A = this chain, B = another copy of it.
Amino acid sequence: MAKSQTSHETQDQLHAFLDALHSGAFDEIRRMLRGMSPAEVARLIESTPLRARNLLWQLIDKEDEGEVLQYVNEELAAHFLRHRNTEDIVSLVEGFDTDDFADLLQELPKTVMRQVLDSLDDQNRYRIETILGYPEDTAGGLMDTDIITIRPDISLDVVLRYLRRHESLPDTTDNLHVVNRTGQFVGILPLTKLLIKDPGMSVREAMNTDAKAIPASTPAREVAQTFEREDLVTAPVVDDNGVLLGRITIDDVVDVILEGADHSLMSMAGMDEDEDTFAPVWKTTRRRAVWLGINLLTAFLASYMIGLFEGTLEKVVALAVLMPIVASMGGIAGNQTLTLVIRGMALGHVGSANVRWLISKEMAVGFLNGILWSAVVGTIATLWFNDIMLGAVLATAMIINLLIAAMAGASLPMLLDKMGIDPALSGGVILTTVTDVVGFCSFLGLATLYYT
């Protein structure tokens, strides 16, 4: 009985591997790799820098390569296959589910992809090409076309005998798919029903007709939401005419969910979910440089705003000391609202129907917190610089900025989404620009009114 592995064990393993790599103990590495499951080897490879990755890949036993390949991400799998010939590639991806096969093909150069497709038998080529006909991020791109279909008018007994003729059934087969004469989906027959119902019963009588079929053009994100909401394990996929094309299994949906979550998290820091922690320095530097440049623009905009009040700053240097507080509190509060709304949109909880309500709620929260913390900040500033007007100006500016931050944080995501801009990526920068500009201008502006 194999035990599942903890991340702690993985780190220990990684230590051992890196040590062995450095000392060139390749035979020991081979031995260690043989003791691990393909999924574990894949994760190990993904947790090392590029050079070690190539080396590890070469140390895997030839007959295990295909299995390991199934568990590494497609980009990396394509990288490992780059210098292999068509025959090699076909034999390596033989054990892949049709959907994973199609995903990997799309990462390969067009000519190689063509050669691989041409070398498949008709049935398999047709199955793969059906998937390739749909964008990768739709139900059609996610589906597996290797499924078992039956007709409604036969008896369960016939189904049982039909199944016995198979060498094996596709992985995670939980349902048989019932289709009519023209191939249209009419229902599913769960194996659990097939096993307990009277064998004399017809498929039509035993099948579930309330199973949801997902149109092939449905975006992957919506597929994931449906799976989550309905607690599905597999779901049939149909074309526009209701013809059954394949099925989606939950392991691929989990990948979509993970990528989606990853996307929100990474985008909010100006990266994308493909960001490879172990990419070379130069590649990473280039990717990050763009984001820093964009943020530099907003930083200069803030500086420009401050520059407008140089006269006031010269007179009252305490303003320079206190001004970051207003901007920073606005940024923090606005970012909370922004994150909440982006998450709500991803979960499908927040949309045009309740965004108005949400904006007023967030502004009310911002106002109440503004009252609370501006009282604290105002008092401290008054005591620190012995100037009650300075405290009053600071407090007022902070209330203004927290209100604007709540409004911007709650309304920006929907607004950007309508304009076709990813809120997770650009929301934070725009929000910070707003809270910086409003923060500095309200504080220094009010101060200018009073002190000059």
Question: A residues within 8 Å of B by Cβ?
Answer: 1-8, 10-12, 14-15, 18, 37, 39-40, 42-43, 46-49, 71, 160, 163-164, 166-169, 172-174, 185-186, 191-192, 194-196, 209-215, 218, 222-223, 225-233, 235, 242, 249-251, 253-254, 257-258, 261-262, 264-266, 268-271, 275, 277-278, 281-282, 284-285, 288-289, 291-293, 295-296, 298-300, 302-303, 306-307, 310, 313-314, 317-325, 327-329, 332-333, 335-336, 338-341, 343-344, 348-354, 357-358, 361, 364-365, 368-369, 372-373, 376-377, 380, 436
Contact = CB atoms under 8 A, between A and B. Distances in A.
A14 B299 contact: no
Given A7-B222, A264-B265, A336-B271, A324 B344 contact: no
Contacts of A380: 300
Contacts of A340: 266, 269, 271, 275, 277
B168 A333 contact: no
B14 A229 contact: no
Given A250-B254, A285-B365, 7 more contacts: A18-B354, A43-B349, A46-B349, A261-B265, A269-B340, A296-B377, A303-B325
Contacts of A373: 289, 292-293, 296
B348 A43 contact: yes
A299 B271 contact: no
Of all A-B residue pairs in the complex, the 10 with the closest CB atoms, nearest first, are: A261-B261, A11-B351, A320-B320, A14-B353, A269-B339, A7-B348, A169-B192, A231-B251, A4-B226, A39-B229
Contacts of A319: 320
Copies, count: 2
Nearest to A148: B192
A253 B288 CA distance: 34
A339 B266 contact: yes
A230 to B, nearest CB: 5
Contacts of A350: 47, 277
Contact of A40 (B229, B327, B344, B354): B229
A275 B344 CA distance: 11
A2 B186 CA distance: 11
A292 B231 contact: no
A231 to B, nearest CB: 4
A354 B48 contact: yes
A289 B228 contact: no
A11 B352 contact: yes
Interface residue SS majority, chain A: helix
A258 B232 CA distance: 15
Given A229-B39, A257-B254, A269 B335 contact: yes
A230 B349 contact: no
A373 to B, nearest CB: 6
Contacts of A18: 353-354
A307 to B, nearest CB: 5
A302 B324 contact: yes
A225 B222 CA distance: 23
16 contacts: A1-B242, A4-B212, A4-B223, A18-B353, A43-B349, A71-B229, A163-B196, A174-B233, A233-B250, A269-B338, A277-B349, A278-B349, A291-B332, A292-B369, A293-B373, A314-B317
Contacts of A332: 270, 291-292, 295
A172 B174 contact: yes
Contacts of A218: 4, 6
A296 B339 contact: no
